[in-house]
Structure 1
C-alpha cells in the first residue's frame, strides 16, 4: 500500500509570516499538533505545538513578536505519494514524528499521520510500534 492511499489530501498550512496566534488557532480548529509552513505550496518547515511552548512561551517571548519562520523546524522529513506505507512508518519511528508532509515534484499535496497508517489491519502493529517508540522517545 502506498502513502497516496492513506494520506489526507486537504491540508491546512500557514505562510512563513503567519502569527503564532493564527497557527495555534489552526491547530485547535483542526485538532492537530503540527502545521506545515509553505510558500507557493513548497514546504519550508513545520511547526508543532511543542515548538510554540519551547520557542515562544518558555523562551519568554511574546506571541505577538514571533512569526512562523522564527519558530518553524526546517529540518523536514517528507515522503512522496508513491512511497510504501511501511517506509512512512519507519521514518516516523526513526525521527520521532507523527505526521509527514507528502511532497510531489517539490509541492505539498497532502499529509500522512501515524493514525492513517493503522487503516489497514496489516499496518496496525507497525503503527502501534512507531507510536510506542515516539511516546517513549526511543532512538534507533
Structure 2
C-alpha cells in the first residue's frame, strides 16, 4: 500500500504573512509548485494555491501587488499523517474540496501532497 509520505514533497515552501499575491505567484512559478503555505512568525496559518489566486484575487480587479496572501488564503490548513494510505488522502481532498494537503509527522508539517502527486504511484506494482 502506498503511503502519503512516499509521495509528498518534503520541506514545503512558505511565504510570510503580508507577502503580495504577485510575489507568491512568482515563488510558485520559480519553484514549479501549485501552492505555498503562509507563515506568521513561527506558525503556519494558511495555504494559497493557484486556484485561490485566480478565483479570489484576479476577480477583485485590483493590482495583485496590492493584495496580501492572507486576504485570499485558505485556513485552517488541512493535514494528513504521513503514514496514511493515499486513498485516504484522496478521500480527504474530496471531502474538503481541496487539491493540496499538508503532510504531518507527530503533528508537525513536514511536507505537502497534491492531487497531482497521487497520480504518480511509487511503482506500478503498488496498485
User: What TM bracket, shorter-length normalisation?
Assistant: 0.7 to 0.9
Instruction: Give the RMSD, CA atoms, in angstroms.
Output: 2.3
> 1:119 aligns to what?
121
CA contact (8 A) 2:23 2:65 kept: no
Partner of 2:105: 104
Bigger share in strand: 2
1:23-74 superposed Cα distances (whole Å, 9 cap, x missing partner): 0101111222222213356431111222222322211222232111111111
Partner of 2:39: 38
Aligned to 1:15: 16
| Residue of structure 1 in register with 2:3 after alignment | 2
Question: 2: distance between equivalents of 1:123 and 1:114?
Answer: 17
Structure 1 stretches of 4+ with a deviation exceeding 6 A read none
Structure 1 residue aligned with 2:94 = 93
Of the structure 1 ranges 103-112 and 114-123, higher mean CA displacement relative to structure 2 is found in: 114-123
Give the TM-score, by structure 1 length.
0.73
Partner of 2:56: 55
- Between the aligned partners of 1:24 and 1:15, the Cα distance in structure 2 is 13
The TM-score normalised by the length of structure 2 is 0.79
Tell me if the contact between 1:41 and 1:108 (Cα under 8 Å) persists in the aligned partners. no
Equivalent residues, number: 124
Equivalent-residue separation in structure 2 for 1:38 and 1:56 (angstroms) = 19
Q: 1:58 to 1:32 in 2, by over 3 A?
A: same
Higher relative contact order (CA 8 A, sep 6+): 2
Checking the alignment, whether the CA contact within 8 Å between 1:16 and 1:37 is kept in structure 2 is yes
- Structure with more of its chain in helix, by fraction: 1
Contact preservation (8 Å) 1:42, 1:106 = no
Asked if 2 retains the 8 angstrom alpha-carbon contact of 1:42 and 1:108, the reply is no
Unaligned runs of 5+ in 2: none
